[in-house]
Chain A
Amino acid sequence: EIVLTQSPDTLSLSPGERATLSCRASQSVSTYLAWYQQKPGQAPRLLIYDASNRATGIPARFSGSGSGTDFTLTISSLEPEDFAVYYCQQRYNWPPITFGQGTRLEIK
């Protein structure tokens, strides 16, 4: 099973700042990595698939990069609604598909 490790666990930033979230895989997942956003009491929402493709309706301030074992989700300029928990997910070697433990992005 491929383990995804996200860092940091918590990121404290202010609106307008740039956020950089990391996801590292225990073995190569090629570019078969997705990112999700989850707000309290809500279902997750797909942001990025196949490492760098924005999902339908996702603002351009969200971008993804990486391949192999190291991936990054970047939010170029934080909006108030971006403060949430973010998860990465791989589907390279499945079953199972696996998720990272999450990064909480909080307002500083």
Chain B
Amino acid sequence: QVQLVESGGGVVQPGGSLRLSCAASGFTFSDYGMHWVRQAPGKGLEWVAFQRYDGSNKNYADSVKGRFTISRDNSKNTLYLQMNSLGAEDTAVYYCAKDRMATSATCLDYWGQGTLVTVSS
């Protein structure tokens, strides 16, 4: 069965950096696009970033563009999110999610359990 397991969350000071990882199993990771989506405490869902199956294209929400970088290692079945210049507004549970398709964002058919990032001094 499809499994997505995020790690790397924690408490970080404003202006700091953090790298999230998402280990994928139960499907051919290199065949699908992958997303990061976040959810601030008590709030709704906010899409963060998408990377197509082969890593050749990346897309970001305006709120994170220039600060966050999505990447993937298909040899390790792992998705990453490098987060720099973090602010309080980035405090959220971060989910990695699999897209139904390979090359373009469509819908997110499997989600990890999420990892909490708290930006606080």
Contact with A89, one of B61, B62, B107 (Cβ below 8 angstroms): B107
Give B54-98 interface residues, CB cut-off 8 Å to A.
Answer: 59-62, 95
Number of interface residues of A (CB under 8 A): 25
A74 within 8 A of B: no
**Minimal Cβ-Cβ distance residue in A for B93:** A43
Contact with B along A72-102 (1 / 0, CB 8 A): 0000000000000001010100111111111
Extra pairs beyond A43-B114, A96-B61, A99-B45 (8, CB < 8 Å):
A32-B106, A42-B113, A43-B95, A46-B107, A50-B107, A95-B50, A96-B59, A99-B46
- The reply to whether A99 and B47 form a contact with Cβ atoms under 8 Å apart is yes
Interface footprint category on B: 20 to 34
- The reply to whether A94 and B114 form a contact with Cβ atoms under 8 Å apart is no
Known A49-B100, A87-B44, A102-B44; contact A96-B107, beta-carbon cutoff 8 A: no
- B100: chain A residues at CB < 8 Å are 49
Cα A91 to Cα B110 with chains together (Å): 16
- The reply to whether B95 and A97 form a contact with Cβ atoms under 8 Å apart is no
B112 within 8 A of A: yes
